[in-house]
Amino acid sequence: MSIFTRLTVREFFHVLIIIFPLTIFIPKVIQPLLEKMTLSASSPIAILLVDIVIVGLAVFIFMPMLNKLTSKLFS
Protein backbone atom coordinates (compact mmCIF):
# COMPACT_ATOMS: atom_id res chain seq x y z
CA MET A 1 0.00 0.00 0.00
CA SER A 2 1.50 3.29 -1.10
CA ILE A 3 1.04 6.51 0.83
CA PHE A 4 1.43 8.50 -2.38
CA THR A 5 -1.96 7.95 -3.92
CA ARG A 6 -3.31 10.23 -6.59
CA LEU A 7 -5.54 11.98 -4.05
CA THR A 8 -2.79 12.70 -1.53
CA VAL A 9 -0.45 14.02 -4.23
CA ARG A 10 -3.21 16.28 -5.56
CA GLU A 11 -3.98 17.60 -2.08
CA PHE A 12 -0.28 18.19 -1.42
CA PHE A 13 0.04 20.26 -4.60
CA HIS A 14 -3.14 22.17 -3.77
CA VAL A 15 -1.65 23.18 -0.43
CA LEU A 16 1.63 24.24 -2.06
CA ILE A 17 -0.18 26.20 -4.76
CA ILE A 18 -2.09 28.16 -2.13
CA ILE A 19 0.35 28.53 0.78
CA PHE A 20 3.43 29.57 -1.20
CA PRO A 21 1.94 32.75 -2.78
CA LEU A 22 0.21 33.67 0.47
CA THR A 23 3.50 33.53 2.40
CA ILE A 24 4.98 35.99 -0.08
CA PHE A 25 2.01 38.35 -0.35
CA ILE A 26 0.34 38.48 3.09
CA PRO A 27 3.29 39.75 5.20
CA LYS A 28 3.67 42.76 2.90
CA VAL A 29 -0.02 43.53 3.20
CA ILE A 30 -0.15 43.12 6.98
CA GLN A 31 3.00 45.18 7.65
CA PRO A 32 1.12 48.55 7.93
CA LEU A 33 -1.41 46.98 10.30
CA LEU A 34 1.37 45.65 12.51
CA GLU A 35 2.98 49.09 12.59
CA LYS A 36 -0.32 50.66 13.66
CA MET A 37 -0.51 48.08 16.44
CA THR A 38 3.08 49.06 17.39
CA LEU A 39 4.35 45.55 16.81
CA SER A 40 7.70 44.78 15.27
CA ALA A 41 7.42 42.51 12.25
CA SER A 42 9.95 40.15 13.79
CA SER A 43 8.23 39.82 17.16
CA PRO A 44 6.73 36.42 17.95
CA ILE A 45 3.19 37.74 18.29
CA ALA A 46 3.40 39.46 14.89
CA ILE A 47 4.67 36.29 13.25
CA LEU A 48 1.84 34.34 14.89
CA LEU A 49 -0.73 36.84 13.60
CA VAL A 50 0.63 36.61 10.07
CA ASP A 51 0.61 32.81 10.21
CA ILE A 52 -2.97 32.79 11.49
CA VAL A 53 -4.08 34.99 8.61
CA ILE A 54 -2.27 32.83 6.04
CA VAL A 55 -3.72 29.57 7.38
CA GLY A 56 -7.18 31.07 7.78
CA LEU A 57 -7.25 32.33 4.21
CA ALA A 58 -5.88 29.08 2.85
CA VAL A 59 -8.19 26.76 4.77
CA PHE A 60 -11.46 28.66 4.69
CA ILE A 61 -11.32 30.53 1.38
CA PHE A 62 -8.76 29.33 -1.14
CA MET A 63 -8.68 25.55 -0.55
CA PRO A 64 -12.46 25.08 -1.03
CA MET A 65 -12.35 27.35 -4.07
CA LEU A 66 -9.45 25.42 -5.62
CA ASN A 67 -11.09 22.07 -4.84
CA LYS A 68 -14.30 23.15 -6.58
CA LEU A 69 -12.38 24.44 -9.57
CA THR A 70 -10.25 21.34 -10.03
CA SER A 71 -13.15 18.96 -9.45
CA LYS A 72 -15.08 20.71 -12.22
CA LEU A 73 -12.08 20.70 -14.56
CA PHE A 74 -11.05 17.09 -14.06
CA SER A 75 -14.41 15.36 -13.73
Question: Measured between alpha carbons, how far is 45 from 28 in angstroms, rounded to an integer?
Answer: 16
The pLDDT of residue 1 is: 57
| 1: three-class secondary structure by DSSP | coil
pLDDT interval class at 13 (50, 70, 90): confident
Stretch (H or E) spanning 4: none
* Model confidence, pTM: 0.76
SS (H, E, C) 34-62: HHHCCCCCCCHHHHHHHHHHHHHHHHHHH
The pLDDT of residue 55 is: 92
Please give the share of the chain, as a percent, with pLDDT higher than 70. Answer: 97
pLDDT tens for each residue of 20-54? 999 999 999 999 998 998 988 889 999 999 999 99
pLDDT of 57 > 70? The answer is yes
Indicate the length of the chain as a whole number: 75
